[in-house]
Structure 1
Amino acid sequence: MAYESFGKYIGAIYRHQQIIINQKLKPYGIGSGQYIFLIKIYENEGISQKELSKLISIDKTTTAKAIKKLEEEVYIYRIKDPEDKRYHKLYLTQKGKDFMPTLHRVLRGVTTILTDGMDDRQHKETIDSLKHMLKNAYEEVESLRSK
């Protein structure tokens, strides 16, 4: 049996999703590269930049750029860690907190666009399959790192 690559579809979906998210978040000064950081800071206020990079599995340079942009747009602010002056703790500003319902609404809307025409069973099976593939990919990457 010949297998068709999941990767080409997952990659294309991701790229198109990022285009949609970029357009929908443009009026707020946020790009598709920053919103995930905003969500994770919201979920983990007081997290350090280093911890944030690790949590999202994104390199420190990319994290620093996203944090800088979110700071410039006044969605977040930093406070020096009183226990370790080399690090900063990250928090949402009031603007950032007020924006979260809008961000969640935008992201739900994108999911609605992507799942249009799917019934509940198809949606669940797709999510289960994607979770399974992510688990496999994660385990393989961990295996490669340990070599």
Structure 2
Amino acid sequence: MGIKDEEFITEKVSFGKFIDRIYRNNNYYVGKHLEKYNLNKSEYKYLIQIYLNEGICQDDIVNRLKVDKYEVARGIKSLIEKGYVYKEKDSIDKRKHRLYITEKGNSIRDGFTAILRESSEILTKGFKEEEKDLVLGFLIRMAQNICEETIKLKNNK
């Protein structure tokens, strides 16, 4: 089954369109539910990285999420001001700061992860387990494909 050029132009089969729609709506859903913790859509992504990797430094978050380092710096500063995170100088490399979760940050972890779980359940509502596995596998491959091409473009500057 071939896809005609005009079908991409009219967005009948544009994968990017649907991925973008999922991304924007999921961000809105999660963001609205995280308002009770005074967290925005960027901050929660950084908080996840710190939950999963206590002692991580900002540069590692930048590299893992492939986002702007100034954006991460702003988000981390806000998380610190809100009392969810604190930083300490690295014991070996004094130029680096390690990020840790505060007691307040730990106190919201269960509610925070429940919101993320709910959004995943909404995204896969009506799917069988095998279908969930297939879709996840496809999305991972799609992400890898576009990441490889993006790296090639960046390296050809």
Superposition TM-score tier, normalisation by shorter sequence:
over 0.9
1:124 aligns with 2:133: yes
Q: Which residue of 2 aligns with 1:141?
A: 150
Aligned AA (1:84): D
Q: Which residue of 1 aligns with 2:64?
A: 55
Number of aligned positions between the proteins: 147
Q: CA RMSD in A?
A: 1.4
Deviations 1:66-96 (A, max 9, x none): 1011111100001122333322111100111
**Dislocated runs of 4+, deviation >6 Å:** none
1:75 aligned residue (81, 84, 89) = 84
1:90 aligns with 2:99: yes
Aligned AA (1:119): K
1:14 aligns with 2:23: yes
Larger Rg: 2
Look up the SS of the partner of 2:108 in the other structure.
helix
Deviations 1:108-135 (A, max 9, x none): 0011111112222221221111111111
Task: Give, in whole Å, the separation in 2 of the partners of 1:128 and 1:80.
Answer: 39
Task: Give, in whole Å, the separation in 1 of the partners of 2:132 and 2:91.
Answer: 46
Unaligned ranges ≥5, structure 1:
none
Task: Give, in whole Å, the separation in 1 of the partners of 2:133 and 2:93.
Answer: 44
Q: Using CA pairs below 8 Å that are at least 6 residues apart, which structure has the higher relative contact order?
A: 1
> What is the CA-CA distance between 1:38 and the residue it aligns to?
0.6
Task: Give, in whole Å, the separation in 1 of the partners of 2:40 and 2:63.
Answer: 21
Q: Percent identity?
A: 35
Task: Give, in whole Å, the separation in 1 of the partners of 2:146 and 2:45.
Answer: 21
Aligned AA (2:61): L
Give yes or no for contact 1:21–1:31 (8 Å, CA) kept in 2: no
Q: Which residue of 2 aligns with 1:64?
A: 73
Aligned AA (2:108): F
Q: TM-score when scaled to structure 1?
A: 0.93
1:35 aligned residue (24, 33, 44) = 44
